[in-house]
Amino acid sequence: MIADSLRSRVFASATLLFFAGAFAGCGGGSHSNAINTISTSGTNVQPITVNAGPANDYANGVFTSVIVCVPSSSNCQTIDGILVDTGSFGLRLLSSAGGGALTLSLPQQTVSGSPVGECAPFVSGFTWGPVQSADVKMAGEVASGVPVQIIDPTFAAVPSNCSSGGVPESDTLQTLGANGILGVGPFAQDCGGACAQTGSGNPGLYYQCSSTSCSVIAESLTQQVQNPVALFATDNNGVIIELPSVSSPAPSLSGSMVFGIGTESNNALGSATVYPLDANGEFSTSFKGQSYPAFVDSGSNGLFFLDATNTGLTVCANNNGFYCPGSQTNLSATTDSGSASANVTFTIANADTLFANPSAFVFNSLGGPNPGTFDWGLPFFFGRNVFNAIEGKGTTAGAGPFWAY
């Protein structure tokens, strides 16, 4: 993620690249303060499942369903196979033109009568399509009139400064591996003040499109794609991802996404340790005496950290997005935010061996390189409740953004 005081964001999630049999991510771990009570009921509890996803080829993808409605109407559609991603911000739905499930005709956002499109950059790909408006419902919570991105390959031609980033476009079910992405990370909008300004400081996520071309525009905070949780009437200050521990590869795993922090009897922080985040949404992780920037990201399907030189782990010959050590390797690192720190132990196994099991899509020991950075991906969530507080929202531990676990 890239950010300054204006918070221009390149989404940290490795969401768009890592599928079973092709790519994936890091190993699971333990923590001295780990909390692992799974909530199963409540108006703020949304079921989530780790499985192969709607394309039946996703390794360590955590999915949920979302009810999407034409604003202020009963014209609604339930869409499943939505990837839950704490490394991005806002709802992105694959259109039926891309092989997705969305068939509703949602109101189009416009500027001077022309449609607005967005190029959303992820580490491993980008999504392109119009910005439209929807009511978004999960569990008993509702966010009304939410700007969302519709990922649509039949929308206007992709602008060259969007497609020139060196990563592929992910606009079909086959390339995305999901029917959409639910970004519930620690920020309220997907770009922030940088996209609301004109001039060279605008990172170029939002576009005004004609029948022949698209040009970068300044997009106000309220018109940007929004984290829907931040727009709930209640339970809007964050989310908790709750998944049980994993001891061996498995076909699927069930858990819960709980909305709110300290707002209900089922979302108290308890003894979780709070890690305040910097302007980039990061804290730090120390490994072998060296400190590195780090983030927590359910949209990354493994722990992606450092490189072979720093870790001593062999990179897979074919799947070079992963580590393939000769034997299962136990490691440890220290997460630190300046005000709190704790040791995390984790295990990395041979990714080629893990992927050789055709019925397994849940892995607690999957890892890969990510030079100079620690991406605590989905296996970090196994066996602990991970709290994600949204920027500017008050909680019993102070205002977000912070992680706690």
Give me the pLDDT at residue 164, please: 87
CA–CA distance, 108 with 286 (Å, rounded to integer): 46
| Contact of 332 with 344, CB cutoff 8 Å | yes
Q: Give phi and psi for 404, each to the nearest 5.
A: -145, 145
| Element holding 173 (H helix, E strand) | helix 173-176
pLDDT digits 0-9 by tens, 302-343: 999 999 999 999 999 988 999 999 999 999 999 998 888 999
Q: What's the Cα-to-Cα distance from 320 to each of 22, 122, 174, 316, 374, rounded to whole Å?
A: 9, 19, 20, 5, 17
Give me the pLDDT at residue 34, please: 56
| Contact of 179 with 136, CB cutoff 8 Å | no
Domains and CATH numbers, the chain: 37-231 (2.40.70.10)
Q: Give phi and psi for 206, each to the nearest 5.
A: -110, 140
Q: Write out residues in the chain with pLDDT < 70, as ranges.
A: 1-34
CA–CA distance, 399 with 53 (Å, rounded to integer): 34
Give me the pLDDT at residue 352, please: 96
